[in-house]
Amino acid sequence: MSPVTPGSLYIIFMKTKHLLIDAKNMLYRAVYVAAYDKAFQKSGHHNVNIVLHFLSDFMNKFKPEQVHIFWDSPRNNTWRKEIEPTYKDGRGGNSKISDSDLGDSINNLTEVCTFLFRNMGIKQYYRDNMEADDLIYAFCKINSPDDIAIASSDTDLLQIPYRYPNVKVHSHLSKEKLLFEEVPEVDPVILKCFVGDKSDNLPGYYRVGPVKAKVLTEDIEERDKFFKSDKAVAKVDGEIKRVGVDRFKKNLLMIDLSLCPHLLDNMMHVSRRQFKPIKFDLKAIRELISKYKLRGVTADISRYIAPFKKLVRDSNASRNSYS
């Protein structure tokens, strides 16, 4: 992957060694697209068709040598819940999808995709109590300086290219139709520790917005003064209370992926999984299509699924060259 300059940030085609995909992020997007696309609803096709379309788009954009999918442990089973019991509480669907329907759709897609990816030459990663972000960070840490592209709209992942210049993040939410998100000017972890993260239900400091947070992120002396002042307050159980540096330290542990207490085990897990043999089994894929009645997939096998066979062929060629 060549260095990314401002002019090359816009949609182009390129080749990268590793494509890392945040699985649940992609699946949620597929469910939402299906809910708003009347033509797709009328077709009666299964939501997995949209997932395959996304994967095909990623393959065309990044021409990866290897594709890696990372799965979240169930929300109520993550290690962060032990530190902050309300972590990610309050997340719900949108106006067109009830929480119940959303959950059912995601569970069905997860079951289908896990088996499908296993037979498409895609490597998958999952560990109890871990989020996809934790495993993605571990992968990037042990695969530097390989060219890595991450497909996810999760802003927490922007801390990785901030620290590792060989990593780029692609988000479908990019307003500028950028191929990659711009690397933050200041440490996104420290910034988020001050402003909090509503999407994860992590509160920041009371009345500290992005402008003030940027100053505190860049100036350590101002940061220390703030922690010791009466302004270091936050809402606790609906009341404004002085929290000093404690809120910052708690948010830092929750947000900074390098501080995951299981990082070493995650790195070992990723290392083992990364070098396991992969396979492309069209017969198994057709059986899955029949079993789950995946309407619309059979017609798109040659367009969306068959190209993944190249991942297995290239992987086998690479292994033989070292044998």
What pLDDT does 314 receive? 79
The pair phi, psi for residue 21, each rounded to 5°, is: -120, 125
DSSP-derived pairing of the beta strands 148-151 and 18-22: parallel
What pLDDT does 229 receive? 97
Cβ–Cβ under 8 Å, residues 25 and 172: no
What pLDDT does 77 receive? 93
What pLDDT does 93 receive? 55
Helix%, strand%, coil% for the chain, nearest 5: 55, 10, 35
SS3 239: strand
For the entire predicted model, the pTM comes to 0.92
Instruction: Report the chain (323 residues): mean pLDDT per 10 consecutive residues.
Output: 44 79 97 94 96 96 96 95 90 72 94 97 97 98 96 97 97 84 96 96 96 97 97 93 97 98 98 95 96 94 92 73 44
What is the DSSP code (8-state) at residue 178?
B
Distance of CA 257 to the CA centre of its chain: 12
